[in-house]
Amino acid sequence: MKVTELLQQKPNALTMSVEITPPRRGKGIDSLFKAVAAIEDFKPLWIDVTSHSADVEWIRHPGVGTYRKRLHRKSPGTIAICGAIEHKFGFPTVPHLLCNGFTCEETEDALIDLHYLGVRNVLAIRGDGKPKEIPEDRSANRYATELISQIKNMNRGQYLDQQAEPTDFCVGVACYPEKHFEAPNLQFDIDHFVAKQQAGAEYAITQMCFDNEKFYEFMDKIKGQITIPVIPALKILTSKEQLVNVTKHFHVNIPHQFVRQIETAKSKAEVKQKGIEWACQQCLDFFDHGYTHVHFYIMKNTEPFVEVMQRLKATK
């Protein structure tokens, strides 16, 4: 079932979705299945599965003094994982499709695989970092709007080099209440968000948010411009180190009140509880403002999420 349909099924109920990451190369899928089983009782409307482009490694030939180029994807398997989760657990999945590091031809093949598996949702994102090299005889999507257009073309049966059986994907995108770190200002970023909607995006999930007021301000700014559902997303902080790492890598604001709570905590267990309490407060505030669906970036750590859901269940 499509994400937009899932959201319409329970418009007044408190619902959530989650994002997880594939295992590292060489690891089995059992740990991922255990993670999904741990949250199964809370019935997420869908599960996002991240994707990563390949890294470049230069490998030295022994005794020759020359090097060869090797592309290495640390966490492959996004498509197979989506199929496995849908088959084993019955939850709809949303694989992430990237511009960066993938050719248009590879994207088309991935979409065909997903179509065969019955996966009906994708999240179209550019991908951060320096653009990867693309072979001269291949094409590439530079921006999310181009990737969205390719997906929508396939939904109309317009493949790269032929007219073929139409696919039927619901396309989600990312948005940034505090602006993307590469955007010169928030309005510039909002203009790009509008362009994604015009290209065919059907819903959006925000960058992780720790300050609900930033989200509400963003929603006020896009009113009248964005008509697709915008879903607030949270990450549960569980360590003091994340105060630095999260802001460094994701360029988001963490309210000073929350920072003080984390910094003054006397143990790792207390830090974790403060993070869980903050996430619960955020959820309840979202619900009070009419946002009944929240997306959680849980990656591989399900325990804090489970505790948040148990507390919310006891509250509502």
Closest of 261, 256, 269, 252 to residue 303, by C-alpha: 269
In this structure, what DSSP letter does residue 267 have?
Answer: S
Cα 173 to Cα 279: distance, rounded to the nearest angstrom: 23
For residue 38, CA distances in Å to 41, 99, 279, 294 come to: 7, 32, 19, 18
Contacts of 166 (CB under 8 A, 6+ apart): 154, 155, 156, 157
> Of the candidates 152, 150, 155, 181, which has an alpha carbon nearest to the alpha carbon of residue 168?
155
Q: Take residue 18 and report the two structure tokens written for it.
A: 């989650």
DSSP class per residue in 144-174 = HHHHHHHHHHHHTTB-SSSB------EEEEE
How big is the CA angle at 123 (ends 136 and 211), to the nearest 5 degrees?
A: 120
Distance CA 2, CA 228 (A): 14
Residue with tokens 């890598």: 249
3-state helix, strand, coil in the chain (%, to 5): 45, 20, 40
Structure tokens at 108: 């088309």
In three-state secondary structure terms, 41 is helix
pTM for the model:
0.91
| Three-state secondary-structure class, residue 112 | helix
Instruction: Read off the tokens for 272.
Output: 């974790």
How far is Cα 81 from Cα 87, in angstroms, rounded to an integer? Answer: 10
The pair of three-digit structure tokens given for residue 85, joined into one six-digit string:
């989760």
Report pLDDT for 281: 97
- Which residues, in sequence order, are bridge partners of residue 59? 68
Q: Give the separation between CA 294 and CA 309, rounded to whole angstroms.
A: 11
DSSP-assigned letter for residue 24 = P
pLDDT of residue 75: 47
Distance CA 13, CA 39 (A): 18
Whole-angstrom CA distances from 177 to 143, 219, 251, 267 are 19, 8, 11, 32
pLDDT along the chain (316 residues), means of 10: 92 90 87 94 96 62 61 69 96 95 92 97 84 67 95 97 96 96 94 98 97 97 97 96 91 95 95 97 96 94 95 81
Cα–Cα distance measured from residue 212 to residue 238, given in angstroms and rounded to the nearest whole number: 19
